[in-house]
Amino acid sequence: MDSVQVTFGHRLWWVDAFVGEAVRGNPAVVVLLERPLPDDELQQIAFEMGVSETAFVRRLGEGWSLRWFTPTVEVDLCGHATLASLHVLLTEIAIPGPEVHFQTRSGLLSGRRSRDGTLGIDLPRSRLEPVDPSALAGALGEIEELYQAGSQNLLAVVRDYDTLCGLSVDPVSLFLAPGSLVIAVCAGAPQADVAIRVFAPRLGVAEDPVTGSALCAVAPWWAERTGAPTIVVRQASARGGLMYARLFEHHVEVAGYARTFLSGEVRA
């Protein structure tokens, strides 16, 4: 045998993000890329993983490159997969340093571990503009207020927690709604200030289990409503999740807990 060629795979971790007591969080797969891969291969890996988001992390100078893929498309921002990536770098790989910096399609994002053990990530704050509730064409049933949250998302306010949990969702109308992410929110929730549900049919995700990026809009909405810069959010999905946020002028620090479910290797 003249030579032996060995190709190592890319390490991966299945991480549940925004876990807590009686809530299971949102699974994200974090893939540590040893070498660049074509976009079509990244998309195929995300499709095979089958979770709402697969994050691809690669060393880039003193920081890290971070990209997010649903099973069908690449997205501009994902909160729970960013939290999962931060968990992998700080817990599984144990990189040094108090701050982790990610180069992403949404700019430079930072993350850190707090003294209480929570992980915090800085996400861009959304600006809210009121729009006519008829823009949803009844996709969520009766809503009280509707806001455009940034360029791609919608924030729909419903009456109370029971209404939120009992939403009758029309998936066809929701797919046609003018937003990639449709966030339903109400004031008041068990052990939380507000509750949300999040739908993203345009991104290949009928309902997201827990959505950190939703707090980019929910935190400013809560601050305008109450004057409070901090908020505790419960996501009322089947898996459930707990998130904590603090509002700043240009960003929202979104925090929560994460845990590794399994690890392995992807051979692409």
Report the catalytic residues.
53
Cβ neighbours of residue 54 closer than 8 Å, sequence gap 6 or more: 28, 29, 30, 31, 45, 46, 68, 69, 70, 81
Query: What is d(CA 18, CA 38) in angstroms, rounded to the nearest whole number?
Result: 30
Do 181 and 214 meet the contact criterion of CB atoms below 8 Å apart? yes
Structure tokens at 63: 């920081």
Do 110 and 100 meet the contact criterion of CB atoms below 8 Å apart? yes
Query: What is d(CA 240, CA 168) in angstroms, rounded to the nearest whole number?
Result: 18
Q: Give Cα separations from 47 to 16, 69, 74, 180 (angstroms).
A: 18, 9, 11, 19
Query: What is d(CA 90, CA 243) in angstroms, rounded to the nearest whole number?
Result: 19
Query: What is d(CA 253, CA 216) in angstroms, rounded to the nearest whole number?
Result: 9
